Amino acid sequence: MIRSVSSSSGNGSTPAEFTTADLPGLRGRGFALLIAATAFALCGFAAVLPLVPLWATRGGAGEFGAGSTTGAFMLTTVLTQLAMPWLLERGGYRWAFPVGALVMGLPTPLFALTADLGPLIAVSAVRGVGFGMVSVAGTALAARLVPHSQVGRATGYYGLAVGLPQVLILPGGVALALNAGFAAAFWITGLCSVVGALLAWGVWFADGGRNRAALRSPARAAAATADAPSGLPLLLALAAPLVLMLLTASAASAVITFLAIPFEQAAWLVGGALAAYALAVVAGRWTAGMLHDLHRRTLLLLPGTAGAALGMALVTAALWSHGDGGGGLGAGTVLLVLLGAMVFGLGFGAVQNETVTLMLNRAGPSGYGRASAVWNIGYDAGSGAGAMLLGLLIQLFGYVPAFALTAVALLAAVPFAFTRRGPRPAAQRDSPGPRGSAP
């Protein structure tokens, strides 16, 4: 049970207490607004991510300079994520998402004013702060706005809102800029994030105010999870899923960043592989969320990790048969690339949802902010560091050894995916309703 310092009506005058069953949950307008806000806000992230480096090269920047815009964005993102638990525990659940979406969206049109590297880096750094706020607050809110019996599906829906726009917007933003101009692309994508901010602010007013208690600070407004770990015990509880998130996100950056280079003469194959990967990630994450709620525990963490390792091994075999770009493109190579990307995507999607639900369960509702921050840092830091490390390995040893080492690292991480079924977390014990109940 979560104890609120004020009534759910939001007048702040009458102490009351509520259980997670009081929340509208997956069918509430508040949760629907969060999902819509996420989709809009992250359109402003996904579309701009490849656009700014391309715009920088138009201004005369080299590859390193163009990449530094993304580096500045990710640096401030991770630094902000480190501070987010402190902010969320001090009332930030209500305003962190809408403010973050505004910080990400309002500066975006400034990119159109100049292609000089200095201003592009500065604006990218500011936008990274907004993305850090949105990413942590959004993940935590997806769990806080629903009863615990729906957390798996809630994080699955949130994964759809994050992943599906990127399938369309990553290539769509570049096409928009090349056909309508960079200024139009920056204005439209900035506006998307502003719309996301307005939708997120509406969560406070939706469902007759029934979501408001969940939007208040868990540190001051929630006392139900006194038995939940904190401090060093909490970090130790989150360590294993963090390792899995870091390694699988690093491997994903290998597929996204480097797969196109050895197969550059077969753009259709690269496009098909990335599309298969992106759709498989969404399917894997959604399936893991559904099964988590049905069985009240993680089921796909181990097969997901093993599947990611298998998928990376298949991609490695495709590179070997292709000869690092120097061989032919036979039917076997094509099949290995497509199958490997799909199998890896299914595994990575399952690991995404299973690690976030595992972290949320171990942290309890009062620690949702910290669990969300750790998970997002694992995802973003793994993606950034993975791209840099894989690039170095490829430069030193070639594509086949680098991808093979990645597959071996994923296989070595499989023991971290073994989870014991201990006592159910406090939030789950306090959540009434039958096992696997529908929303």
CA pair distance 354, 349, nearest whole angstrom: 9
Residue with tokens 């990611």: 308
Contacts of 156 (CB under 8 A, 6+ apart): 285, 286, 287, 288, 289, 290, 353
SS3 152: helix
Model confidence pLDDT, tens digit, residues 304-340: 999 999 999 999 999 998 875 555 678 888 999 999 9
Model confidence pLDDT, tens digit, residues 156-178: 888 888 877 777 776 677 778 88
C-alpha of 139 from chain center: 8
Q: Which range, 179-183, 230-234, 347-351, has the best average confidence (pLDDT)?
A: 347-351
User: What would be the CATH architecture of the domain defined by 1-224?
Assistant: Up-down Bundle (1.20)
Extract the tokens encoding 270: 């690269």
Residue with tokens 């715009």: 55
Model confidence pLDDT, tens digit, residues 178-198: 888 899 999 999 999 999 999
Which comes out higher in pLDDT, residue 235 or 291?
A: 291
Question: Where do the structural domains in the chain lie, given as residue ranges?
Answer: 1-224, 226-420
SS3 229: coil
> Helices 368-397 & 231-258, crossing angle to 10 degrees?
40
Contacts of 233 (CB under 8 A, 6+ apart): none
Model confidence pLDDT, tens digit, residues 410-420: 999 999 988 66
Q: CATH assignment of 226-420, given 3.40.980.10, 3.30.110.40, 3.30.1490.190, 1.20.1250.20?
A: 1.20.1250.20
CA pair distance 202, 290, nearest whole angstrom: 27
CA-only gyration radius of the chain, Å: 22
Lowest-pLDDT choice from 59-63, 271-275, 404-408, 413-417: 59-63
SS3 329: coil
Give the angle 178-182-183 at the CA atoms, nearest 5°: 145
Q: Is the pLDDT of residue 222 over 60?
A: no
